[in-house]
């Protein structure tokens, strides 16, 4: 059993889609073992997406991630990291497969509804950025 870190991004909370997205997550066999709604600070968003700091869209990305509340989550399941990436769909919703969260809900490559960790090392770091161990049950 593996854990991954998930964010329901501001476009999801703005459109009141957190329950709809969570239904897809749970239907995919992933268990939400921690969850909270927060307003990310600019510093938190910059730290979280530090790997993209040199990309041309970095400023826009930080702006978007702090534009409204997000729901941060820890998901647990068999091969949770790849399982969640599969159900999220491609970064650009135009390329996302049928039935994926981004195909169902995302509006653009920037406002693409969800984040999911891409590797065990990043999952551990991302979970630790937002959750204490005793918040994950
Ligand atoms: P995430 O890390 O959010 O789960 P991802 O792993 O599918 O998404 P990354 O390449 O890590 O994609 O990009 C991180 C985020 O940066 C994307 O989810 C998207 O919100 C934003 N992003 C990526 N490419 C672009 C782009 N060309 N223009 C605007 N925003 C982008
Ligand atoms: Mg990524």
- pLDDT beneath 70, residues of the chain: none
Pocket probe for ligand 1: among 7, 112, 116, the residue whose CB has the most ligand atoms within 8 Å is: 112
Confidence at residue 61, expressed as pLDDT on a 0 to 100 scale: 98
Confidence at residue 83, expressed as pLDDT on a 0 to 100 scale: 98
Rounded-to-5 percentages of helix, strand, coil across the chain:
45, 20, 35
Distance 27 CA to ligand 2 centre (A): 22
Q: Determine the longest span between alpha carbons in the chain, in angstroms.
A: 39
Pocket probe for ligand 1: among 11, 92, 110, 119, the residue whose CB has the most ligand atoms within 8 Å is: 110
Residues with Cβ within 8 Å of 47's Cβ and at least 6 positions away in sequence, in order, are: 129
For the segment 104-128, what is each residue's pLDDT rounded down to a tens digit?
999 999 999 999 999 999 999 999 9
């Amino acid at each position: 059993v593996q854990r991954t870190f998930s964010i329901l991004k501001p476009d999801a909370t703005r459109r009141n889609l957190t329950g709809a997205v969570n239904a897809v997550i749970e239907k995919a066999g992933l268990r939400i073992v921690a969850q909270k709604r927060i307003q990310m600070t600019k510093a938190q968003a910059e730290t979280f997406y530090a790997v993209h700091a040199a990309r041309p869209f970095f400023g826009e990305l930080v702006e978007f991630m702090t534009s409204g509340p997000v729901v941060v989550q820890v998901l647990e399941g068999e091969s949770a990291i790849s399982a969640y990436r599969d159900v999220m769909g491609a970064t650009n919703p135009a390329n996302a497969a049928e039935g994926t969260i981004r195909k169902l809900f995302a509006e653009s490559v920037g406002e693409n509804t969800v984040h999911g960790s891409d590797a065990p090392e990043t999952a551990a770091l991302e979970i630790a950025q937002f959750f204490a161990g005793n918040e994950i049950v």
